[in-house]
C-alpha cells in the first residue's frame, strides 16, 4: 500500500550556499540528511525532520531552512491533518502514539484571559529600583499562630517551626529525571538554582554524584518506581517529593527503555544496566490516603523530621478534596501539575485529554484549604504550562505559593520544543544520554542561561508588584481582587474567584 503520509516539514537547502561540508549529516540525530558519495547527490528524508532546527543553526553558510510542508491533505474541519495522520500511523503500527512536551490541543488558556490590576492616583505604584521589593517565599507547614516571649525589648520565639524551604524567588525548576534528561541539563539547573537561591527537582531518577555539591538546593523525588530511594539520598536533598501523578499523563506510569539505562544511570537509579525502568501507574503501597500518610511519615522518620515532604498530583476533576486529603495526611506542600505540563514521554491520548487547567486547580485547591481552615498547614506549588513572569504572578494571585517551571527551563537551555524527547535523540543535548549529543550542552553556559531566566522573571515580578502597589509577594498571594477576567463565562469566573473586567 502506498504510504500517503505528507511530511510535517520540508528541508530546503540553498544549493548556491551549500559547500558540501556534510556538517548537517553529523548534526541531525534523526537521519534526515543523506549524501550519496557515488552519485554525488543529496537526499533529504523530509518525513523524518522534526524541526529541531539544529542543522539550520549549525550550517556554516546558513544554507538550510526548515519550512512547514505545503503539502497537506485536502482541508477538513473535523478530519484534520493531524487526525488523519494519527489514524494512519496507528493503522500502520497498531500501537499507542507516543509523544513528548505538553498538551498540544488548542484549549483556551485561562492565564491569557486574566489581567492584572495597576495603581493609579489613590494608591501609588512603587518603583522597585528605589524601594525594597520582596520575593522571598517559604514553602512548608506554618503554625496557626506563634508564641512569643517578651521582656522589655527582648523577644524570643517559643513555637517550634516545621522545616520550610526558603526561596529567594517563588520559581523552582520542576522535577525532570536524570535518564529522561542529561546530566548536563541537571547540572545547569542545579547550579542556577543554587546561585539564585531556589531549588530544582531531581525527578524520579535519583541524584547523580555530580549534583552532590548542590544538594542543599535540590528536592529529591520518591515515585512509584522507587528508583534511587535510600536513606542517604533522602537525607542529602533539601526536601522530598512523593510523585503520585503528573499533569502530562495523569493516572499512568512511566517507562524508561532499557537501552537508555546506561552504566551511570543504572548506578544512580540503583537498577541493573540495560533493564527497563518501569514506574507503575500507582504506587503499589499506596491505595488510599492512609497509605499515603504512612509513606509521608516514613520519609519524615527517615529524615528525622528535618525535611519537608511534598506530594505531587496531576490536576484532575476532583483536585480540591484530594489536595485537602494530602495536606491532612501530613504533606508540607501539595504540588499540582496542570494539564499543560510537559513530559519526556507520554502517550498522546493521555497528554492531550486528561486533567484540568492549572489555573482552575489552583483556585479551587486554595479555596478548599481555606474553607477547611488548613491553608497554613501546607503550601501550594503550581506547575504545568507556566510560560512567563505574568503567568507566575497570576498563579500566585490565584492562590499558589510558588511555581515549578520545566519546559520553560529547558527552552532556556536550548530546547526548541520539537517534542521528540522520548526518542532520546535530542539534538540540543538535553533529553538524551548519547555522549556525542550531550556535548552540545555546556553546563556552565546552561547554568548561566537558566539563572538568567530566573533573574529576568524575578525582576519582572518585582515590576509587577510595584505596579500593583505591593512591596512583597506575600501580599499578592490569593489576592484575586487584583485580577479580572476577560471573556470568561460566569461559572468560570466563579471557579477562579475573580470578577469580570470593569466590575
Q: Which does 416 bind (CB under 5 to 8 A by kind): other proteins, ligand SF4, none?
A: ligand SF4
CA 404/CA 385 separation, integer angstroms: 9
Residue from 27, 241, 337, 401 touching ligand SF4 (CB under 6 A): that is 27
CA 77/CA 479 separation, integer angstroms: 41
51 binds ligand SF4 per the rule CB under 6 A:
yes
Residue from 156, 263, 304, 502 touching other proteins (CB under 8 A): that is 156
Instruction: Tell me the site size for ligand SF4, rule CB under 6 A.
Output: 29
Q: What is the dihedral of CA 351, 342, 382, 365, to 10 degrees?
A: 0
410 binds ligand SF4 per the rule CB under 6 A:
yes
Per DSSP (E only), the strands in 17-153 are: 33-36, 41-44, 64-68, 98-99, 114-116, 137-139, 148-151
Residue from 55, 482, 485, 495 touching other proteins (CB under 8 A): that is 482
45 binds other proteins per the rule CB under 8 A:
no
447 binds ligand SF4 per the rule CB under 6 A:
no
Using CB under 8 A as the binding rule, the residues of this chain from 163 to 202 that contact other proteins are: 164
SS3 314: strand
How is residue 12 annotated by DSSP?
A: E
N- to C-terminal Cα separation, the chain? 61
Q: Return the sign of the alpha-carbon dihedral for residues 303, 300, 252, 314.
A: negative
CB 371 → other proteins: shortest distance, Å? 8
CB 492 → other proteins: shortest distance, Å? 18
Secondary structure (DSSP) of 362-388: HHHHHHHHHHTT-GGGSEEEEESS--S
CA 26/CA 65 separation, integer angstroms: 17
415 binds ligand SF4 per the rule CB under 6 A:
yes
59 binds ligand SF4 per the rule CB under 6 A:
no
CB 279 → ligand SF4: shortest distance, Å? 19
* 83, three cell numbers: 487526525
Using CB under 6 A as the binding rule, the residues of this chain from 79 to 138 that contact ligand SF4 are: 100-101
Exposed/middle/buried for residue 327 (C-beta within 10 Å: 0-12, 13-18, 19+): buried
Residue from 147, 285, 436, 444 touching other proteins (CB under 8 A): that is 147
- Picking from 431, 432, 429, the residue whose alpha carbon sits closest to that of residue 441 is 429
Which residue number, 418 or 451, has a Cβ lying nearer to ligand SF4?
418
Q: Which does 474 bind (CB under 5 to 8 A by kind): ligand SF4, other proteins, none?
A: other proteins
The residues of the shown chain that bind ligand SF4, judged by CB under 6 A, are 11, 27-28, 30, 32, 49-56, 66, 100-101, 410, 415-421, 426-428, 430-431
Residues binding other proteins (CB under 8 A): 119, 121-124, 126, 131-132, 134, 136, 138, 142-148, 150, 154-157, 159, 161, 164, 366, 370-371, 373, 375-376, 468-472, 474-482
Amino acid at each position: 500500500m502506498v504510504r500517503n503520509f505528507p511530511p510535517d516539514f520540508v528541508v530546503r537547502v540553498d544549493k548556491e550556499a551549500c559547500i558540501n561540508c556534510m556538517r548537517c549529516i553529523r548534526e541531525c540525530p534523526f537521519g534526515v540528511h543523506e549524501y550519496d558519495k557515488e552519485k554525488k547527490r543529496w537526499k533529504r528524508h523530509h518525513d523524518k525532520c522534526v524541526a529541531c532546527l539544529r542543522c539550520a543553526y549549525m550550517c556554516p553558510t546558513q544554507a538550510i531552512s526548515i519550512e512547514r510542508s505545503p503539502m497537506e491533505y485536502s482541508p477538513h474541519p473535523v478530519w484534520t491533518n493531524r487526525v488523519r495522520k494519527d489514524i494512519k500511523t496507528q493503522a500502520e503500527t497498531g500501537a499507542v502514539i507516543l509523544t513528548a512536551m505538553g498538551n498540544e490541543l488548542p484549549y483556551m488558556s485561562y492565564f491569557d484571559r486574566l489581567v492584572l490590576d495597576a495603581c493609579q492616583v489613590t494608591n501609588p505604584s512603587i518603583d522597585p529600583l528605589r524601594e525594597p521589593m520582596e520575593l522571598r517565599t517559604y514553602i512548608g507547614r506554618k503554625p496557626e499562630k506563634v508564641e512569643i516571649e517578651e521582656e522589655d525589648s527582648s523577644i524570643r520565639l517559643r513555637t517550634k517551626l516545621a522545616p520550610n524551604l526558603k526561596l529567594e524567588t517563588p520559581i523552582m525548576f520542576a522535577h525532570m529525571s536524570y535518564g529522561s534528561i542529561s546530566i548536563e541539563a541537571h547540572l545547569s539547573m542545579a547550579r542556577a538554582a543554587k546561585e539564585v537561591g531556589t531549588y530544582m527537582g531531581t525527578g524520579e531518577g535519583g541524584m547523580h554524584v555530580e549534583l552532590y555539591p548542590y544538594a542543599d538546593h535540590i528536592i529529591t523525588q520518591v515515585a512509584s518506581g522507587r528508583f534511587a530511594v535510600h536513606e542517604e539520598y533522602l537525607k542529602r536533598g533539601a526536601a522530598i517529593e512523593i510523585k503520585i501523578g503528573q499533569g502530562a499523563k495523569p493516572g499512568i506510569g512511566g517507562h524508561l527503555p532499557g537501552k537508555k539505562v546506561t552504566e551511570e544511570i543504572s548506578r544512580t537509579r540503583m537498577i541493573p544496566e540495560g533493564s527497563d525502568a518501569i514506574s507503575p501507574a500507582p504506587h503499589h503501597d499506596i491505595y488510599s490516603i492512609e497509605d499515603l500518610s504512612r509513606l509521608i511519615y516514613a520519609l519524615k522518620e527517615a529524615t528525622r523530621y528535618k525535611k519537608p515532604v511534598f506530594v505531587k498530583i496531576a490536576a484532575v476533576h476532583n483536585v480540591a478534596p484530594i489536595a485537602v486529603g494530602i495536606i491532612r495526611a501530613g504533606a508540607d506542600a501539595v504540588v499540582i501539575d496542570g494539564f499543560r505540563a510537559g513530559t519526556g514521554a507520554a502517550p498522546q491520548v493521555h497528554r492531550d485529554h486528561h486533567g484540568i487547567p492549572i489555573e482552575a486547580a489552583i483556585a479551587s485547591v486554595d479555596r478548599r484549604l481555606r474553607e477547611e481552615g488548613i491553608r497554613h498547614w501546607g503550601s501550594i506549588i503550581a506547575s504545568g504550562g507556566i510560560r512567563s513572569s505574568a503567568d507566575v504572578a497570576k498563579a500566585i494571585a490565584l492562590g499558589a505559593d510558588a511555581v515549578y517551571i520545566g519546559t520553560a527551563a529547558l527552552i532556556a537551555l536550548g530546547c526548541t520544543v520539537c517534542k521528540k524527547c522520548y526518542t532520546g535523540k535530542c539534538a540540543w543535548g538535553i533529553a538524551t544520554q548519547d555522549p556525542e549529543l550531550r556535548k552540545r550542552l555546556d553546563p556552565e553556559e546552561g547554568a548561566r542561561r537558566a539563572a538568567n531566566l530566573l533573574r529576568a522573571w524575578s525582576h519582572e515580578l518585582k515590576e509587577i508588584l510595584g505596579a500593583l502597589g505591593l512591596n512583597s509577594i506575600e501580599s499578592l498571594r490569593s489576592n484575586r481582587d487584583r485580577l479580572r477576567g476577560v471573556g470568561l463565562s460566569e461559572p468560570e469566573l466563579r471557579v477562579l474567584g475573580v470578577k469580570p473586567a470593569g466590575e
